[in-house]
Chain A
Amino acid sequence: GAGVSQTPSNKVTEKGKYVELRCDPISGHTALYWYRQSLGQGPEFLIYFQGTGAADDSGLPNDRFFAVRPEGSVSTLKIQRTERGDSAVYLCASSPDGQAGTGELFFGEGSRLTVL
């Protein structure tokens, strides 16, 4: 498709389970970002990829969170041992070139994670 695609759109899981969220960026965009949005708040930065490498993962809240982008396109955000506090909307964004600043960000529709 033409835009950033995220799957699943909704995920309900139980506390302690493992979750994967997928992001397919706009074709040709080298920079990819994950953000997290809690109810009533603005999105918060989690991690940024330039190509295949995680250039900045300073926003990941703890070591239960991990993200990969093995071929420089699709990215997966992985959450281990989920906790109720992980419930949020996880947003993925891409931009054409992140090497000299972000450029314009384009967001997907998000994956809403609910941990029971």
Chain B
Amino acid sequence: GIQVEQSPPDLILQEGANSTLRCNFSDSVNNLQWFHQNPWGQLINLFYIPSGTKQNGRLSATTVATERYSLLYISSSQTTDSGVYFCAVEGVYNFNKFYFGSGTKLNVKP
């Protein structure tokens, strides 16, 4: 299967700071999603972004499929941004099976 590596594994921010989370993947992908897993375990969709750039409020994401990476930007972080951020990819040769990274655990302190 596809190897998905996320960095950094852990991140501590002061409220108001900006951050960049990275997702590297080992093969060509058909699909890529970013999720935020809240403290109750719910996976919340952030971006469906197999390529290009999208923005949603303080969050934005960029996927460069040809170079096999995606970035998630969080600006002006808030304590409610805390949780684990997952990148998940679906390979072009292996439909219908998402591979997840191990996540970036974010702690935003007031």
Q: Residues of A at under 8 Å CB distance from B? A: 31, 33, 35, 40-45, 48, 50, 55-56, 58-59, 89, 91, 98, 100-107, 109-110, 112
Interface residue SS majority, chain B: strand
Which 10 pairs show the lowest CB-CB distances between chains A and B? A42-B100, A107-B43, A104-B48, A101-B30, A48-B96, A45-B97, A101-B95, A109-B42, A98-B96, A43-B100
CB <8 Å contact, A91 and B97: no
Most interface-central of A42, A43, A109 (chain B CB within 10 A) = A42
- Chain A residue numbers with a CB within 8 Å of B103 are 42
Pick the contact of A102: B40, B95, B101 (CB < 8 A): B95
Q: Residue of A at shortest CB range from B30?
A: A101
* Contacts between chains A and B (CB distance < 8 A), count: 64
- Chain B residue numbers with a CB within 8 Å of A43 are 43, 86, 88, 98, 100
Interface residues on B, range: 20 to 34
